[in-house]
């Protein structure tokens, strides 16, 4: 006699990936249970993008993701692309706009995206404030104990996200489930996260808190041109968040403070126009005034421009175009937007996200060793991997 399961599919984690996967599986007629220990579904969607959810990116492609296997994302992204998600958003008449660099945001609140996904999941049994007590293999499926209630399922989807922002429900459970089933997990660390500095660096960085400027950041051979922000704790802003995914402890960080400006040419022209002008005053027209003052003090740059030789000017500009700092760490999972590393892509089918060694067990979203750049790529991975699994359940 065929086994009678409580559900065809149980999805663990009602975040971005879990909601999408459950909706797609139930749309094909599967009996789906979606569980989460949080009070509400999609909490990270709610707080994302400053409350407006940067839900995808128009330029999304495999090169916007970090993974041990850079090809792994291709199949899922091709099957369900940024344009497919945009079509869904438009079907629900959610107004959106491109902010910058292809990043698409809601005009209104990000809760519109949660409402849309919950509506898509109308046939899913959603149980919130439910604990996942234990998981084990049962004949042709899995036995899952949820808040004390034992249930069985043919398919089990792990969509419990990463470790970032434990206050919002992140628990790292997905990695433990993988390990319990002997599925390899690549080392994890916080990513898209502000960088911190030793006290002697912080002493000049912290007073600049609030100062922002366009900059070019390079670490480990990777480069980003975006805004840099000084904070009381160190450096942040999109440029830092992006480079944090590539920077590793001990690496220097190269900062071009004026990537779009030929500082040497501009300062030479300023000297030609008025040799009695202070170097700091001229520099304050090229970078934020507070930063110019701090840099002049740190680099002993003072006096009339007329007294500055070409060599001295060029040396100063070289330092501003190539400031080298050594971060000591990151702000950690407390503020990191995502977790780098995770369930090894070697262990999963790139078409369905199913484990190669444990048939019926799937991993989707952030728990997988796939991390997007800043700019809507992480949600796109949640949608694409959710669909890849959901459509085959």
Minimum CB distance to ligand FDA, residue 269 (Å)? 41
| Binding positions for ligand FDA, 166-185, rule CB under 6 A | 169-171, 173
Q: Which stretch binds ligand FDA (CB under 6 A): 41-49, 74-82, 304-312, 323-331?
A: 41-49
54 is an interface residue for ligand FDA by CB under 6 A = yes
Which residues pair with residue 222 across a beta bridge?
A: 219
* Interface mask toward ligand FDA for 123-162; x: CB under 6 A: ---------x--------------------------xxx-
Q: Nearest Cα to 343, choosing from 61, 54, 69?
A: 69
339 is an interface residue for ligand FDA by CB under 6 A = no
Q: Nearest Cα to 110, choosing from 164, 59, 24, 43?
A: 43
> Are residues 153 and 8 in contact, defined by beta-carbon separation less than 8 angstroms?
yes
Measured from the CB atom, the residue of 43 and 354 that comes closer to ligand FDA is 43
What tokens does 123 get? 């046939």
> Are residues 64 and 377 in contact, defined by beta-carbon separation less than 8 angstroms?
yes
What tokens does 391 get? 């459509």
Measured from the CB atom, the residue of 164 and 330 that comes closer to ligand FDA is 164
| Binding positions for ligand FDA, 19-38, rule CB under 6 A | 36-38
> Are residues 42 and 109 in contact, defined by beta-carbon separation less than 8 angstroms?
no
Residue nearest to ligand FDA (CB): 15
117 is an interface residue for ligand FDA by CB under 6 A = no
Minimum CB distance to ligand FDA, residue 355 (Å)? 16
Show the beta-strand stretches assigned E in 315-354: 323-325, 329-330, 338-343
Binder among 5, 11, 34, 43 for ligand FDA (CB under 6 A): 43
Minimum CB distance to ligand FDA, residue 338 (Å)? 5
| Residue 305 to residues 196, 268, 301, 361, Cα–Cα distance (Å) | 35, 9, 10, 68
365 is an interface residue for ligand FDA by CB under 6 A = yes
Measured from the CB atom, the residue of 99 and 290 that comes closer to ligand FDA is 99
What does residue 157 show for φ and ψ, rounded to 5 degrees?
A: -115, 125
164 is an interface residue for ligand FDA by CB under 6 A = yes
Q: How far apart are CA 248 and CA 386, in angstroms?
A: 30
Q: Which stretch binds ligand FDA (CB under 6 A): 13-21, 83-91, 209-217, 286-294?
A: 13-21
53: left (phi over 0), alpha (psi -120 to 50) or beta: left
237 is an interface residue for ligand FDA by CB under 6 A = no
> Are residues 323 and 257 in contact, defined by beta-carbon separation less than 8 angstroms?
yes
Q: Nearest Cα to 193, choosing from 221, 165, 222?
A: 165
Q: How far apart are CA 15 and CA 21, in angstroms?
A: 10
14 is an interface residue for ligand FDA by CB under 6 A = yes
Binder among 113, 144, 208, 338 for ligand FDA (CB under 6 A): 338
384 is an interface residue for ligand FDA by CB under 6 A = no
376 is an interface residue for ligand FDA by CB under 6 A = yes
Minimum CB distance to ligand FDA, residue 18 (Å)? 5
Binder among 208, 382, 387, 388 for ligand FDA (CB under 6 A): 382
Q: Which stretch binds ligand FDA (CB under 6 A): 69-77, 111-119, 296-304, 373-381?
A: 373-381
| Residue 262 to residues 229, 272, 289, Cα–Cα distance (Å) | 21, 16, 18
165 is an interface residue for ligand FDA by CB under 6 A = yes
> Are residues 187 and 341 in contact, defined by beta-carbon separation less than 8 angstroms?
yes
Please name the residue ranges forming H helices in 60-110: 74-79, 82-91
- Provide the pairing of β-strand 132-138 with 141-146: antiparallel
Binder among 3, 28, 47, 322 for ligand FDA (CB under 6 A): 47
Q: How far apart are CA 74 and CA 279, in angstroms?
A: 51
Which residues of this protein are in contact with ligand FDA, per CB under 6 A?
13-18, 36-38, 43-44, 47-49, 53-54, 132, 159-161, 164-165, 169-171, 173, 337-338, 365-366, 376-379, 382
């Amino acid at each position: 006699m065929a086994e009678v399961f409580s559900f065809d599919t149980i999805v663990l984690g009602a975040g971005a990936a879990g909601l999408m996967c459950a909706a797609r599986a139930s749309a094909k007629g599967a009996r789906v249970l979606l569980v989460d220990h949080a009070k509400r579904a999609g909490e990270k969607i709610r707080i994302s993008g400053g409350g407006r959810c940067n839900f995808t990116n128009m330029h999304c492609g495999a090169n916007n993701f970090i993974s041990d296997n850079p090809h792994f994302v291709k199949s899922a992204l091709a099957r369900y692309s940024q344009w497919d998600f945009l079509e869904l958003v438009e079907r629900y008449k959610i107004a959106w706009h491109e902010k910058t660099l292809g990043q698409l945001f809601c005009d209104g609140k990000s809760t519109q995206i949660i409402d849309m996904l919950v509506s898509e999941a109308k046939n899913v049994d959603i149980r919130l404030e439910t604990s996942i007590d234990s998981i084990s293999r049962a004949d042709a499926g899995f036995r899952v104990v949820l808040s004390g209630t034992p249930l069985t399922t043919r398919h089990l989807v792990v969509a419990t996200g990463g470790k970032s922002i434990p206050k919002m429900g992140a628990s790292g459970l997905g990695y433990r489930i993988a390990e319990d089933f002997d599925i390899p997990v690549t080392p994890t660390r916080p990513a898209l996260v502000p960088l911190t500095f030793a006290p002697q660096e912080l002493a000049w960085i912290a007073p600049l808190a609030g100062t922002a400027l366009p900059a070019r950041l390079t670490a480990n051979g990777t480069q980003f041109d975006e805004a840099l922000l000084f904070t009381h704790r160190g450096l942040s802003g999109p440029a830092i968040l992006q480079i944090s995914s590539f920077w590793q402890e001990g690496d220097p960080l190269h900062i071009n403070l004026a990537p779009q400006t030929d500082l040497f040419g501009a300062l030479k022209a300023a000297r030609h126009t008025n040799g009695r002008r202070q170097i700091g005053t001229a520099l304050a027209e090229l970078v934020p005034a507070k930063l110019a003052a701090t840099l002049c003090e740190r680099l002993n740059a003072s006096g009339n421009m007329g007294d500055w030789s070409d060599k001295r000017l060029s040396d100063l500009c070289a330092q501003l175009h190539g400031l080298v700092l050594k971060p000591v760490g990151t702000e950690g999972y407390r503020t990191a937007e995502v977790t780098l590393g995770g369930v090894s892509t070697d262990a999963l089918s790139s078409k369905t996200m199913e484990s190669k060694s444990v048939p019926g067990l799937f991993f989707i979203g952030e728990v997988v060793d796939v991390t997007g750049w800043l700019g809507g790529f992480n949600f796109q991975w949640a949608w694409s991997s959710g669909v890849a699994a959901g459509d085959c359940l």
